[in-house]
Amino acid sequence: MKVAIITGASRGIGRAIALELYKRGCNIVFNYTRSTQAAEELVKECTSTDRQALAYQVDAADFPAVQDMVKDVKSKLGRIDILVNNAGITNDKLIVRMKEEDWDKVLDTNLKSAFNFCRAVTPIMLKQESGRILNISSISGIVGMAGQANYSASKAGLIGLTKALAKELGSRNITVNALAPGMIETDMTATLSEDYKKSLLEQIPLRRFGQVDEIARIAAFLVSEDAAYITGQVIQVDGGLAM
Ligand SMILES: NC(=O)c1ccc[n+]([C@@H]2O[C@H](COP(=O)([O-])OP(=O)(O)OC[C@H]3O[C@@H](n4cnc5c(N)ncnc54)[C@H](OP(=O)(O)O)[C@@H]3O)[C@@H](O)[C@H]2O)c1
């Protein structure tokens, strides 16, 4: 049975991906930082007796803690087949107001976290001669967004990481792709002003925000056997917003 690690899956897109992979027969393992109750509820929702759901309260930006988490997963479940680097935050500010800590926190949470998990799981996937890595980027990393210098840079960085690792790991049957959502209804976008949401809606050809399940199903496809010949790609799921 496949083992999938999904980072930042207590809420939002990560949670939906974790549930979708569980539904499709994977053992799921996820981490989170603050939302303990939501994490416990997700574990409770996974009731099948033939597979597991494990939660770790581990900051994805903490390199040694991630190494320890992955070691523990390997010892408990024996293998790691899928890694979805989803953990992410925003801290939007114009560059003239952005403090050093605003930059560092977003880059550490969104980009360094993906390095941390890739670094920890790739030796295992290389030995297995198989694996799927999916990095949750954003259209902000493709087109850039005003007020999101830190976030856009982190999400563009994930695309570079994706392409480099696709070239490095392809010969061992490990695919590495990025998924770039547009505007998806989660806690992250709930804080945007109504005026800003309205102006965005006018720019989305499908005239609506996306739902987490719509991201989860594409993510599940990209880490499935059906996507065996797709690597190094950035798949936009954005209702046509960024083209
Ligand atoms: N929503 C969108 O429109 C959109 C668009 C493009 C890309 N994305 C990307 O999709 C991903 C998920 O976004 P979302 O909208 O689902 O966000 P969300 O609803 O705010 O959920 C973020 C998740 O990440 C976890 N997390 C945050 N910092 C973490 C850390 N340091 N270590 C481990 N877990 C951490 C949170 O757990 P805790 O609550 O426990 O901290 C939570 O489970 C992010 O990478 C985001 O950039 C989202």
Q: Which residue's alpha carbon is nearest to atom 13 within ligand 1?
A: 13
pLDDT at 76: 98
Domain boundaries, the chain: 3-237
Instruction: State whether the beta carbon of 177 lies less than 6 angstroms from ligand 1.
Output: no
Q: Which residue's alpha carbon is nearest to atom 2 within ligand 1?
A: 184
The ligand 1 atom at the shortest distance from the C-alpha of residue 34 is 40
Instruction: State whether the beta carbon of 195 lies less than 6 angstroms from ligand 1.
Output: no
Catalytic site includes residue 56: no
- The string of DSSP letters for the chain reads --EEEESS-SSHHHHHHHHHHHHTT-EEEEEESS-HHHHHHHHHH---SSS-EEEEE--TT-HHHHHHHHHHHHHHHS---EEEE-------B-GGG--HHHHHHHHIIIIIHHHHHHHHHHHHHHHHT-EEEEEE--THHHH--TTBHHHHHHHHHHHHHHHHHHHHHGGGTEEEEEEEE-SB-SHHHHTS-HHHHHHHHHH-TT-S-B-HHHHHHHHHHHTSGGGTT--S-EEEESTT---
Q: Which residue's alpha carbon is nearest to atom 33 within ligand 1?
A: 32
pLDDT at 52: 97
By most ligand atoms within 8 Å of CB, the mutation choice from 188, 236, 238 for ligand 1 is 188
pLDDT at 53: 98
Instruction: State whether the beta carbon of 187 lies less than 6 angstroms from ligand 1.
Output: yes
pTM (two decimals) = 0.99
Q: What is the pLDDT along the chain (243 residues), one digit of tens a residue?
A: 999 999 999 999 999 999 999 999 999 999 999 999 999 999 999 999 999 999 999 999 999 999 999 999 999 999 999 999 999 999 999 999 999 999 999 999 999 999 999 999 999 999 999 999 999 999 999 999 999 999 999 999 999 999 999 999 999 999 999 999 999 999 999 999 999 999 999 999 999 999 999 999 999 999 999 999 999 999 999 999 999
User: Domain 3-237 is of which CATH architecture?
Assistant: 3-Layer(aba) Sandwich (3.40)
